[in-house]
């Protein structure tokens, strides 16, 4: 006599720990920069469908991407459940630009999209001139000269 067993999976994957790494440890990105977007994605039921872990980044580069957990495209450790994608910014303007990450399991139970954002700063640097009076320069020269430098 054989027994038939099955699993009822009604829980979607969990998406958490969304992060953005900016180039040069900057606090913002600009057009042409590449940022690394990552998130921890886990499924306790029937298992995650890796092809369903999608980064919707149309505000950043006008497209969507299947995120990776295979050590490629910015993913740091293969198989650690942290999915990543390198996005090259093609958006202008300044301020916060939103993206979402979605995922589904094998059933497929779909997780609600989790939002994140990238801060853009496409403004040109502003230089301010500093007016220095002749007396300040003369005082500095005198102080240096008195020290024998």
Which residues on neighbouring strands pair with residue 19, listed in sequence order? 38
What's the pTM value of the predicted model, to 2 decimals?
0.82
Give the per-residue pLDDT at 142. 54
Give the per-residue pLDDT at 137. 54
pLDDT digits (tens, 9 = 90+) for 70-86: 999 999 999 999 999 99
How long a stretch of residues is the chain?
149
pLDDT digits (tens, 9 = 90+) for 10-20: 999 999 999 99
Span 97-111, average pLDDT: 96
Residue 37 confidence (pLDDT) above 80 = yes
* Contact partners, residue 6, CB within 8 Å, separation at least 6: none
DSSP per-residue codes, the chain = ----------PPPEEEEEEEE-GGG-SSB-TT-EEEEEEEEE-SSS-B-GGG-EEE-HHHHSSEEE-B-SS-TT-SSTTSSEEEEEEE----SSEEEEEEEE-BBSS-PBPPPEEEEEEE--PPP--------HHHHHHHHHHHHHTT-
């Amino acid at each position: 006599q054989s027994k038939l067993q099955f699993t009822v999976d009604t829980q979607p994957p969990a998406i958490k720990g969304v992060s953005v790494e900016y180039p040069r440890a900057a606090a913002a990105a600009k057009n042409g920069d590449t940022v690394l977007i990552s998130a921890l994605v886990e499924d306790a039921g029937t298992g995650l469908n890796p092809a369903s872990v999608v980064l919707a980044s149309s505000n950043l580069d006008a497209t969507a991407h299947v995120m990776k957990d295979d050590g490629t495209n910015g993913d740091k450790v293969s198989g650690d459940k942290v999915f990543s994608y390198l996005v090259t910014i093609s958006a202008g303007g300044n301020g916060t630009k939103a993206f979402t990450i979605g995922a589904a399991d094998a059933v497929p139970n779909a997780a609600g999209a989790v939002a994140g954002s990238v801060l853009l700063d496409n403004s040109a640097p502003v230089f301010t001139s500093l007016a220095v009076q002749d007396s300040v320069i003369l005082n500095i020269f005198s102080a240096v000269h008195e020290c024998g430098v």
